[in-house]
Every structure is written in structure tokens, then in C-alpha cells.
Amino acid sequence: MEFVERYNGCGLLVSVKKKIAEAYGIQKVEIFETESFGKMLVIDGKVQVTEFDEPFYHEMLVHVPMNSCKNAKSVLIIGGGDGGALREVLKHDVEKVVLVEIDNNVIELCKKFLKIDAGAFDDSRVKVVIEDGRKFIEHCETFDVIIVDGTDPVGVSDPLFGRDFFEICNKKCGVFCSQSQSPLIQRQLFRKMIVNSTVIRNRTVFTSVVPTYPMAYWSFIIGGDFSFRYVRRNYRKIKGKTKHYNPEVHFSAFALPNWLKEEIRDAELRGN
């Protein structure tokens, strides 16, 4: 059996042994056993997580912002129902983590069949809220770090890429980080993210390789009061190992190629 994800004239093909779980609610949630990438979470036909390369993504999404602040104690994760980002946040000396996930099916299936959370959902510091992150941000307290781990900016995730959402987040955290799609094959989505996120102070882009995401080159935005001065010290304090992330990867992630710098500059100039 083959799973195919198509995007803008190209795609990803994954040989699959079998489907091990599925649920249909506000999204179509499926979990597969693959030939080469371990278990794979698919939401509305798009690859979200594979056991093979999820650390490439979750470690960059979490440790770049967490190591960019002096001493983060309170963290908000919006999305992230697979538990990978939560697992990485708990490797830091945090006191409170709130995870706001719109679709409880994702959490239930991932806890039961994917298991990349490694027990993170049951940690006493964690509070899980089943709500739309766009609504939650309106009434929540402030956090040291806000991490947005949403699906593609279509459907239920769309409000997590809006200017109004970023304006509120900018006021509610010290450091903000979100995945921001593929600048290569999802140019319009990426440019929309760049334009809308100009309201976040010091908003900057970094990148990483994520082999099973569209064309394997992924972007993230970070903003707020982030600094490079704590990276090495905080890296040494991480509890447990990281498969992908280290300080050299952190620093080099901010070195952008000319075409990407131009894309960002052009989007900011044109406003679209």
C-alpha cells in the first residue's frame, strides 16, 4: 500500500504496511505503520509526524525558543496534539505547560498508537485544554514562551496564521515561535505568514530540514525578546538527549540563503 501526499505539482510517497487507527471528527485523523519511517500521523491527508524524523521538527520548534530565553518557566503550546513538542518542552526546567488542542481525537489516537509523547501528557506540570487556540489566546494569562505547532494554515489551523492572532500573542509572551510552512513549495502560505507576523516584535525566520515535510525544507518564525546569549548554557541544562538539535544547529538555522532573504524582504515590502 502507498500513501501519497501531493502539493503544487510534486509530492511525497510513503510505502505503508497498514493503517493502525483512524478517527473522524473535526479532522480526518489517521495513523499508519510505514515500511521505512515507523509510525506516521496524517491529518486531513497531510503528513504531520513520522517516528523517523519528528525530532528534526519538534526539537527545533521547541529548543530554539526555549534556549533563546534566560529561564522559561511557563509555556503555552497551541496545537501539538501528538505530544512531540510537549515532550521536548519538559526537558527544560519548566513549572507550567498548557497545551491547547482543538481536536481531542489527535491526542487520544497519538497517546494510544503513536506514543511519541513518552508520557508527557501525564506529567503533573502539564494542563491539556481542548479548545480552539485562537479563542484561548483571547482570555489566557501571559507565558514566558508561546509555541504554535499547528497544521497547514487551512481549515481549523487558519486562524493561527492571522495578523490578529499574532498581535495578541505578541502581548502575551516573552518569546514566540511558530512553524511557518515550506518557503519552497508553499510560497504563498509562507509569504502570508511573513506579512501577518510583522506585528510580532523582532520577528525573524529560521529553517531546518524535515525530510517528510513538503520538499524537506521547513521554516519557523521566532519573535519577542529572544537572545543567542543563553543557547549554550541552556543546552547543557537540557534533561536527556536531543537527536537533532545542538547549539551549532541552532545558530546555523538563522543563516538564510539569498533567495529566502529576498522572498522575506519582498513579501514585507509588497504586503503579500
Residues that bind ligand SAM (CB under 6 A): 27, 43, 48-49, 57, 78-82, 100-103, 106, 132-134, 149-151, 156-157, 159-160, 179
Quick one: how many helices (H) and strands (E) in the chain? Answer: 9, 12
> Which amino acid type is present at position 66?
M
Is residue 164 annotated as part of the catalytic site, yes or no?
A: no
Kindly write down the DSSP assignment for every residue of 50-66, as one continuous string.
ETTTHHHHHHHHHHHHH
**Nearest-approach distance from CB 70 to ligand SAM, in angstroms:** 27
Nearer to ligand SAM, 16 or 210 (CB): 210
**Nearest-approach distance from CB 251 to ligand SAM, in angstroms:** 22
Kindly write down the DSSP assignment for every residue of 220-260, as one continuous string.
EEEEES--STTHHHHHHH-SS--SS--HHHHHHTT---HHH
Query: Is residue 54 within 8 Å of 116, Cβ to Cβ?
Result: yes
Query: Is residue 177 within 8 Å of 222, Cβ to Cβ?
Result: yes
Nearer to ligand SAM, 78 or 97 (CB): 78
Nearer to ligand SAM, 157 or 196 (CB): 157
**Nearest-approach distance from CB 150 to ligand SAM, in angstroms:** 4
List the catalytic residue out of 82, 103, 149, 152: 149
Locate 33 and state its grid cell: 505503520
Nearer to ligand SAM, 62 or 175 (CB): 62
**Nearest-approach distance from CB 105 to ligand SAM, in angstroms:** 8
Locate 29 and state its grid cell: 485523523
Active site residues: 149
